[in-house]
Amino acid sequence: MSSDTLTAPTGSAAAPATPRFPSRLPQVGTTIFSVMSALAQQHQAVNLGQGFPDFDCDPQLVSAVTDAMTSGHNQYPPMPGMPVLRQAIAAKIESLYGRRFDEASEITVTAGATQAILTAVLCCAGPGDEVIVLEPCYDSYVPNIELTGARVVRVPLTPGSFRPDFDQLAAALNSKTRALIINSPHNPSGTIWQPADMQRLAELLAPTNALLISDEVYEHMVFAPHRHESVARYPELAARAFIVSSFGKTFHVTGWKVGYVAAPAALTAEFRKVHQFNVFTVNTPMQVGLARYMADPAPYLNLPAFYQAKRDLFRAGLARTRFRLTPCEGTYFQCVSIADLQVPERDLSEADFCQWLTRELGVAAIPLSAFYGQGFDQKMIRFCFAKRDDTLRDALTRLSTL
């Protein structure tokens, strides 16, 4: 009998067998965010790893959603999203960036930005295509591409500065390039693309048939004196782009998972073909509540100053340690170099250092190597400062011994 043949114990029925099948994502395991959050909980650490606030949203937003539920907005909305919310999104984009998207044919409400990006990739890429990502990048991009059967092409951002390397990007573009995914403000580095970057990108893409997926979920977290350079500002880019954003990030409700995509009508038509079969539609009362709440632009217009104050508090505390700070132009993430630190155990990798930091000092962070396909280790880690001021002060007290 073969050594790998399973037999049931004598006198008992064979246990039902679960069929085996090839994994669509054989390299994917538990994410670093889950690992570090579990470790933080185990050691009662201040969790500055995963990117979500530890404070509540505006009670008026909750009231707007509650009113929507009690007013009967509890059945399926139209597949692309509630018209009132799509109108509010179109008006916001036009007000901020000067481009008017048609709410009927060019705006789609999604179940968060992650679903939006997956759907954009699924609708345009397939076997034989290539999709470019700029590393380090958000961890969903590569699996999204792999699920389509397309080839992932990794182009590194400049180490340390995290600026786009347009020479390398130009070398990666070819007739097989179906799409390029960009992200500004950038997670994990906190850098933003400048007008010259956007103009150079437009020049590179102009002679190609490549589409652009622009992840702009941190659009309202850009700090003075900078401004957010949305793809919507640049007609030659907007004409080929899926522009993605997130209400969860903007309004401190990451658990609601509501976002949107703005794209030209031809691209939106293809996007909705996939969207209607992987999500179909999105939570109705939250859509109605968000639309009502957006009637006052102050919450998102005041968001840069709100997070800039937290950034400055956190950076001032970190400056008193031996961490070496990198610039933070946007997002709610601060990266620091650990190259100048000497910890008791040994010369630790980024991942090992984050585990040591969580166990020994009680502060959780994320290694930047987790955002690279090959785990590039440049002695840098990422903190999230979307926390209450007392949470940040607690973390800084624990880090003050470094």
- As its CATH architecture, domain 59-295 has 3-Layer(aba) Sandwich (3.40)
Decide: 51 and 37 in contact? Cβ < 8 Å. no
Identify the pLDDT of residue 10.
55
Dihedral of the alpha carbons of 54, 58, 64, 67, in degrees to the nearest 10:
70
Q: At what angle do helices 284-293 and 59-70 cross, to 10 degrees?
A: 130
Residue limits of CATH 3.40.640.10 in the chain = 59-295
Sheet with 130-135: strands ordered across: 107-110, 259-262, 241-246, 211-215, 177-183, 130-135, 151-156
Decide: 337 and 365 in contact? Cβ < 8 Å. no
Q: Are strands 363-364 and 46-47 parallel, antiparallel or unpaired?
A: parallel
Dihedral of the alpha carbons of 60, 220, 323, 135, in degrees to the nearest 10:
130
In which residue ranges of the chain is pLDDT below 70?
1-12, 344-346
Identify the pLDDT of residue 2.
42
DSSP string for residues in 118-178: HHHHHHH--TT-EEEEEES--TTHHHHHHHHTPEEEEEEPPTTT----HHHHHHH--TTEE
Cβ atoms within 10 Å, residue 139: 17
Alpha-carbon distance 51 to 300, whole Å?
Answer: 18
Residue limits of CATH 3.90.1150.10 in the chain = 32-51+301-399
Residue 244's SS3 state is strand
Residue 382's SS3 state is strand
Secondary-structure class of domain 32-51+301-399 per CATH: alpha beta
Both tokens assigned to 248: 């969860």
Decide: 312 and 262 in contact? Cβ < 8 Å. no
Alpha-carbon distance 254 to 248, whole Å?
Answer: 4
Closest by Cα among 152, 99, 157, 108 to 129: 152
Residue 325's SS3 state is strand
Buried b (16+ CB within 10 A) or exposed e, 232-254: bbbeebbebbbbbbbbbbbbbbb
Identify the pLDDT of residue 50.
86
